[in-house]
Amino acid sequence: MAELAQLRTIATAVWQEARAENDFARFQPHLEKIVDWRRRYANLFAPYQHIYDPLLAEFEPGMKTAEIQAIFRVLRPQQVELVREITTRPQVEADFLYQPYDEQKQWDFGVDVITRFGYDWKRGRQDRTAHPFTIHFGIDDVRITTRFMPDYFSSAFFSTTHEFGHALYELGVDRALARTTLARGTTMSMHESQSRLWENLVGRSRPFWRASTRAYRKFSRCSLGMCL
């Protein structure tokens, strides 16, 4: 585990630099070392039906790779057909998303939205990062991060609403479970269902943006740089 921690720490630093420069070759040897480590780790749990089973257990206890593959065998044809159908439609006008918006005003807008959604700032905070994540220190300390891109409004906003969903899930744990192993989200899929709910089903919904037109007048074109 100490070896993995060292590999990840070094790889993360290199990844941030390589990502900024669009230089995968620079990051590749570090990724290969981590993949090799994970394979060696999985082999400690042999025999198994699939080499990913021991790794999947870290995120979805009790589930096997074969079960995941069965789910995607059903979903994939439908997803492919959906993507094909979408590509036949005219492209929507999305130029307003790819404009330079003031970072502080993006921050303020995102904070205002998740405050209205119900984020408890007395039990958490938000910071900037290279890749958004949520971190849980306890029922009363669940922190989120977001990422800003100079010419893409959606990055910070949807990162903020996504991580809010993770945090709200953790902040909703029953206090009776405090200081026990049950005082966390159950599985990664459950966690992602909550983050995606707020990011996509709410944050990308027409009713939400219609409400935003009325509720966020102070973030109009003259302030944020875009008309909601």
Q: Is the distance from CB of 18 to CB of 26 less than 8 angstroms?
A: yes
Residue 228 lies in a domain: no
Res 224: pLDDT: 47
pLDDT tens-digit readout, 156-171 = 999 999 999 999 999 9
Residues classed as catalytic:
163
Report pTM: 0.88
Together in a domain, 121 and 176:
yes
Count of CA atoms in the C-beta half-sphere (13 A) of 98: 3
Residue 218: predicted pLDDT: 54
Point out the domain boundary residue: 28, 63, 87.
87
Measure the CA–CA gap between 170 and 175, rounded to whole angstroms: 11
Judged on CB neighbours under 10 Å (0-12, 13-18, 19+), 33 is middle
> The domain containing residue 140 runs over which residues?
95-219
Is there a single domain that holds both residue 70 and residue 115?
Answer: no
The verdict on 58 and 163 lying in the same domain is no
Q: Choose one of 71, 87, 103: the last residue of a domain.
A: 87
The domain tally of the chain equals 2
More confident residue, 184 or 25: 25
Identify the pLDDT of residue 222.
Answer: 45
Choose one of 34, 61, 87: the last residue of a domain: 87
Would 206 be classed as within a structural domain?
A: yes
Average pLDDT over residues 165-192: 94
* Mean pLDDT, residues 210-224 taken together: 63
Residue 213: per-residue pLDDT:
77
CA distance 206 to 220: 18
- Asked if residue 147 and residue 44 are part of one domain, the reply reads no
Q: For residue range 9-18, list pLDDT tens digits in order.
A: 999 999 999 9
Residues 189 and 101 in one domain: yes
Domain shared by 133 and 171, yes or no = yes
Q: For residues 78 and 102, state if they share a domain.
A: no
Q: Which pLDDT score is estimated for 227?
A: 42
Reported in sequence order, the residue ranges of the chain that DSSP labels E, i.e. its strands, are: 126-128, 134-138, 141-146
pLDDT digit string, tens, across residues 119-136:
999 999 999 999 999 999
Residues 16 and 116 grouped into a single domain: no
- The verdict on residue 225 lying in a domain is no
Alpha carbon dihedral 204, 133, 150, 16, in 10-degree steps, equals -140
Looking at the domain assignment, is residue 226 inside a domain?
Answer: no
Q: Would you state the pLDDT for residue 214?
A: 74
Residue pLDDT, tens place only, 143-156: 999 999 989 999 99
Average pLDDT of the chain to the nearest whole number: 92
Check whether residue 138 and residue 187 sit in a common domain: yes
Mean local confidence (pLDDT), 192-212: 94
Where b means 16+ CB within 10 Å and e means fewer, 5-19 reads: eebeeebeebbeebe
Assess whether 214 and 101 both reside in one domain: yes
